[in-house]
Amino acid sequence: MAALLALIFLFVLPTSVISQVQVQVDLARFRSHEQAVVEVQMYYSGSSLTSIPTPDGQWRSSVDVLILFQQDSQIVQYDHFILHSPSTVEPAQDFVDVRRFAMPEGAYHVQMEVFDLHKTGDTLSLNRDVTIGGDQKDLAFALSDPVLLAKAYASKETNALTRNGYYMEPIPHRYYPHTAELLYFYQEVYAQVPSEMMDTYQYAYYLEGIQGDGKPRRIQQAITKTRKARPLDPILMQMDIRKLPSGNYRLVTEVRDKDLNLINTSAISFQRSNPNLEVVENDLKVTGAPGMLDSFLVDMPIEELNYSLRAVAARILEKDVTILNATIQNPRAEAKRQLLFSYFIQENANRPDKAYAAFMASAREVDAKFRSGFGYGFETDRGYAWMKYGQPNDIVQVEDEPHAPPYEIWIYDEFPFTGQRNVKFLFYNPNLAPGDFQLLHSTARNERQNPRWEIELYEKAGATEIQGTNIQDATGVRDQYYRNAKRYFNDF
């Protein structure tokens, strides 16, 4: 089976400032004259770049791009170029670019850096590992990675977006909005057997719906075409998706012999937003498609979208945090709706609106409970922990200990996030500001673990109260009847 490349959608923070540059990048592997070719598809968010006026009264943005392919710390291929967006009447327009690299087979580390030429300090960096070739050598037919497209048509032009006689514009984020009526995709099939052994083959494609358990289920009969076997067979297809409900899907392609025996297959995932589609029960029985509606996001004000995104932060995987930050800063409401829809359709594939409503009801309760004047309540350390791990089984609240600011110890009897038991968090309020509790120490893996937490909690006690004689290596303070934090922490 042809191994697929996962979507690269990464934003990296330069120092402590969130990068404004937003680029969605996808990789696809092809062949050309018996060489492997990696296609780097880049979709630039115009609103994240600085647009400047051109002499003819239009607008244009520019980026400095560096792409490196490394193997064993050695640079094998690279490209460094200045890219200008097309001149447009309105500023901040999105644009697309594609670069191709002929590469020997092997494993590579891909590094990419993008700088906004008109705004110093705005940069993006991403890294990716990719393996090229080697997985289809013994098959009669090899497949390129399929590419989902926003638009496509026959073209005799030669530019970055044309290939084998077609103009093809990659679709950003593998996301088809409600305005999309057709799904275009492109793939290449490479015959690896002598023509006298097999002069034709069967090329088939169909859609699978991704259910709440993550398992795909076929929702339509395969569309099959008889094709002539040749060293390179470029295939451009389109599908009518006007009646495809909102949801997560996979496009599956197959190569079969004349007896319909499976030779090779590939798949690529995408999302569809179609909130205005009326899905009746009979339709669902025919298509098998989950009737997932995202209309709950369509008319939502941008302020509420941002509030919801901030609330989701505690549940987002660490690798996606910078994506979330960039989406919050992105002025485009469509990007915000897309991320929220992507998250809640994973929570409840059949009713993402219900998952959203339940989650936001909890988020508003946490916001009210822990709001401190320094942001939303779910953005405080206590609120973040509550949103991420749920309500603790016990809370010890202490407000009257000498030499210690107010503190709380939260106890979780069961902690399935790490497989631990009896997990504890200690929050304290060193500034004595209303509600300003900070995480000082936790026994949970991947959370702050501070061996000197007791010394920092009883900082007012002074250096003479530190346990032992070595101040630098000390982890505790002398035991006193009014210093109960360690007893509470160990005994509960």
pTM metric for this prediction: 0.59
pLDDT digits (tens, 9 = 90+) for 31-67: 887 788 999 999 998 888 899 999 988 999 999 999 9
Rg, C-alpha atoms of the chain: 28
Residues 100 and 144 occupy one common structural domain: no
Contact (CB, 8 A) for 485 and 426:
yes
42 class by beta-carbon count within 10 Å (0-12 exposed, 13-18 middle, 19+ buried): buried
CATH number at residue 241: 2.60.40.2550
Domain's final residue, options 256, 280, 304: 280
Contact in structure between 163 and 186 (CB atoms under 8 Å):
yes
Q: How many C-beta atoms surround the C-beta of residue 102 within 10 A?
A: 13
Is pLDDT of 367 > 90?
yes
The chain-wide mean pLDDT, for the chain, equals 83
310 and 273 share one domain: no
Which residues face 411 on adjacent strands? 394, 424
Task: Kindly indicate the confidence band of residue 7, based on its pLDDT and cuts at 50, 70 and 90.
Answer: very low
Q: Are 168 and 185 in contact (CB under 8 A)?
A: no
pLDDT of residue 284: 34
Q: Which of 5-9, 63-67, 206-210, 368-372 has the lowest mean pLDDT?
A: 5-9
Q: For residue 94, is pLDDT > 60?
A: yes
Boundary residue ending a domain (84, 105, 135): 135
CA distance linking residue 479 with residue 452, whole number of Å? 15
Per DSSP, which regions of 45-193 are E strands?
52-53, 59-60, 62-71, 74-84, 95-103, 106-116, 123-132, 141-143, 147-154, 162-163, 166-170, 175-176, 182-191
Please check whether residue 382 lies inside any domain of the structure.
no
Is the same domain home to 141 and 130?
Answer: no
pLDDT at 476 over 70: no
pLDDT band at 11 (very low <50, low <70, confident <90, very high): very low
Same domain for 275 and 143: yes
Same domain, 225 and 178: yes
Domain that holds residue 119: 1-135
**What backbone phi and psi angles, to 5 degrees, belong to 19?**
-65, 140
Query: What pLDDT, on the 0 to 100 scale, is given for residue 78?
Result: 93
User: Are 84 and 184 members of one domain?
Assistant: no
Q: What is the pLDDT of residues 230-270, one digit of tens each?
A: 999 999 999 999 889 888 999 999 999 887 889 999 999 99
Mean pLDDT calculated for residue range 290-319: 80
Say if strands 123-132 and 106-116 run parallel, antiparallel, or are unpaired.
antiparallel
Supply the CATH number for residue 119's domain.
2.60.40.10
Please tell me whether residue 33 adopts helix, strand or coil conformation.
Answer: coil
Residue 3's pLDDT is what? 36
